């Protein structure tokens, strides 16, 4: 039987090519992945489309509930912070209440990851436009973290984001890193990062947190699944 240790439900944007592929490569043995997609009109990543997409959360939660998953991850970074600090908690409550199962949202998972690593200041690399970068900076600062630097690549669609290789994220993380940052955060669940986290930590000499990494870590610990052997950087030692 698939999922004999646990079943992970994940809600992704309809145009996200990355999250399911990354999770499936790194899930512990006996844990299965089951996805539901939230409509993101034309794959456009804007404040307006992300807010509209969130209206799909309960529908997706009801679908995943029919499978009796053990936890549901709302795997979208800006989609779970777009209305400011506290919105991530609202998303988790809405999903948990609808599906009657625990839920984690990427923006909340990131904070839990930072706290587990004792991160107070962070350098942020994103694929986003300036408008979304500003929303993320404000969110992180409202959550109590110092944003040492934040730089985006200016992409406006999931398709553009998903076409980038992990090496793009690696080079961007190196570029935004600074001595004032306790860690580097690579934002966006559409960004491929799993292949480069361990090497990037070695090269930078500090923890690296990414959206998919933090969400998967949070989901597995919520399920009570032992995850130290997954091999996705310092976070998975906590």
Q: Is the pLDDT of residue 181 over 90?
A: yes
Question: Region 128-141: what's the mean pLDDT?
Answer: 97
pTM score: 0.97
Q: Is the pLDDT of residue 156 over 90?
A: yes
Of the candidates 6, 54, 52, 50, the residue with the CA atom closest to the CA atom of residue 27: 6
- 3-state secondary structure at position 6: strand
The yes-or-no answer to whether 6-108+213-237 and 116-210 have a common fold is yes
pLDDT on residue 229: 86
Pair 11, 73: CB distance under 8 Å: yes
Contacts of 64 (CB under 8 A, 6+ apart): 9, 11, 34, 36, 72, 99, 101
Query: For domain 6-108+213-237, which architecture applies?
Result: 3-Layer(aba) Sandwich (3.40)
Q: Which CATH number fits domain 116-210: 3.30.870.10, 3.40.50.1860, 3.40.50.11030, 2.60.120.10?
A: 3.40.50.1860
Contacts of 225 (CB under 8 A, 6+ apart): 5, 6, 28, 31
Helices 211-223, 19-26: axis angle to 10 degrees equals 50
pLDDT on residue 42: 85
For residue 66, what are the β-bridge partners? none
Q: Give domain limits for the chain.
A: 6-108+213-237, 116-210
Which tens digit of pLDDT belongs to each residue from 57-114?
999 999 999 999 999 999 999 999 999 999 999 999 999 999 999 999 999 999 999 9
Q: How far apart are CA 78 and CA 2, in angstroms?
A: 31
pLDDT on residue 207: 98
- Local confidence band at 51 (pLDDT 50, 70, 90 cut-offs): very high
Q: How far apart are CA 134 and CA 86, in angstroms?
A: 17
Pair 185, 112: CB distance under 8 Å: no
Calculate the average pLDDT of the chain: 97
């Amino acid at each position: 039987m698939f999922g004999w240790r646990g079943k992970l439900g994940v809600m992704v944007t309809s145009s996200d090519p990355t999250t399911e592929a990354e999770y499936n490569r790194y899930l512990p043995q006996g844990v299965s992945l089951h996805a539901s997609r939230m409509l993101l009109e034309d794959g456009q990543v804007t404040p307006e489309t992300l807010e509209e997409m969130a209206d799909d959360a309960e529908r997706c939660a009801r679908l995943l509930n029919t499978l009796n998953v053990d936890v549901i991850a709302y795997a979208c970074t800006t989609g779970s912070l777009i209305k400011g600090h506290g919105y991530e908690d609202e998303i988790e409550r809405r999903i948990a209440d609808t599906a009657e199962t625990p839920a984690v949202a990427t923006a909340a998972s990131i904070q839990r990851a930072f706290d587990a690593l004792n991160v107070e200041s962070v350098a942020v690399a994103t694929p986003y436009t300036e408008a979304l970068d500003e929303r993320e900076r404000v969110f992180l600062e409202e959550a109590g973290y110092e944003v040492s630097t934040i730089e985006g690549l200016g992409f406006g669609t999931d398709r553009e984001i998903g076409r980038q290789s992990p090496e793009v994220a690696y080079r961007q993380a190196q570029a935004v890193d600074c001595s004032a940052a306790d860690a580097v955060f690579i934002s966006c669940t559409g960004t491929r990062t799993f292949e480069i986290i361990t090497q990037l930590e070695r090269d930078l000499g500090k923890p690296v947190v990414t959206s998919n990494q933090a969400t998967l870590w949070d989901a597995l610990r919520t399920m009570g699944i032992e995850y130290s052997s997954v091999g996705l950087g310092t976070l998975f030692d906590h």
